[in-house]
A and B are shown apart, each in its own frame.
Chain A
Amino acid sequence: DAGVIQSPRHEVTEMGQEVTLRCKPISGHDYLFWYRQTMMRGLELLIYFNNNVPIDDSGMPEDRFSAKMPNASFSTLKIQPSEPRDSAVYFCASSFGRRLNTEAFFGQGTRLTVV
């Protein structure tokens, strides 16, 4: 398997624009996580899904952020409208929850810059 695939790797956008980040989890994994990493706040869990269903979105910073998982092989994180403070690296990760204590596998991240 190619691992968790995220696109794009880099995104530069103007304030107010809509941004969509994409993630393809490892085939067969039933958990998917979205994280945000910044120097100030470190690694933050935004939302995670189990079998395509959102389980906990308490980390989503505000209504400008939304995430979907229409099927087991694809998820999106959307920011609309984007703001400069959203600039960060966004990671997607997946895991196979039926195996106890299994680790999460991370994608290489999307570096978002909002100007």
Chain B
Amino acid sequence: GNSVTQMEGPVTLSEEAFLTINCTYTATGYPSLFWYVQYPGEGLQLLLKATKADDKGSNKGFEATYRKETTSFHLEKGSVQVSDSAVYFCALYSGGYQKVTFGTGTKLQVIP
């Protein structure tokens, strides 16, 4: 079956530090890959996505590249802000149904 593995959190960074959150996946076929973000007290919202190999998704300074050879979709940001503090979920869509498989989430805390 499909699965998504994310790095364990929480991740604590100082403002303006470089962020990487690792995500690897196992899937049949050709999945689409997503990063969702959940701010405190809110639901999940889409941050970025990539639908085929070598695609790069980007939004709000975050980016992730779909690497089929390493089955990875790592999230990066060059300079984090306190407002980026949230839980980040890597997710995978595959197959004929719109069923998504989520990773366990990685909590990011950015301190001033």
Q: Measured between alpha carbons, how far is A42 from B49 in the docked complex, in Å?
A: 21
Most B C-beta atoms less than 10 A away, residue of A43, A48, A97: A43
CB neighbors of B among A16-47 (8 A):
31, 33, 42-43, 45
Residues of B within 8 A of A (CB): 32, 34, 36, 41-46, 49, 51, 89, 93, 97-100, 102-105
Q: Known pairs A97-B97, A101-B93, A104-B98. 19 more at Cβ < 8 A?
A: A4-B43, A42-B102, A42-B105, A43-B102, A43-B105, A48-B98, A50-B97, A55-B97, A56-B97, A91-B43, A91-B44, A101-B49, A101-B51, A103-B36, A103-B46, A106-B43, A108-B43, A109-B42, A109-B43
Q: Measured between alpha carbons, how far is A109 from B100 in the docked complex, in Å?
A: 18
Number of A positions contacting B (CB below 8 A): 24
Main secondary structure of the interface of A (DSSP, over half): strand
Q: Measured between alpha carbons, how far is A65 from B60 in the docked complex, in Å?
A: 39
Contacts between chains A and B (CB distance < 8 A), count: 55
Chain A minimum-CB-distance residue to B34: A103
Check: A102 CB closer than 8 A to any chain B CB: yes
User: In the bound complex, do residue B104 and residue A42 qualify as a contact, i.e. CB atoms below 8 Å apart?
Assistant: yes
A37-70 Cβ-contact flags toward B at 8 Å (1 or 0): 0000011010010100001100000000000000
Q: Measured between alpha carbons, how far is A97 from B96 in the docked complex, in Å?
A: 9
Q: Measured between alpha carbons, how far is A102 from B45 in the docked complex, in Å?
A: 13
A-B residue pairs, 7 tightest by C-beta:
A106-B43, A101-B32, A103-B46, A42-B104, A106-B44, A97-B98, A101-B51
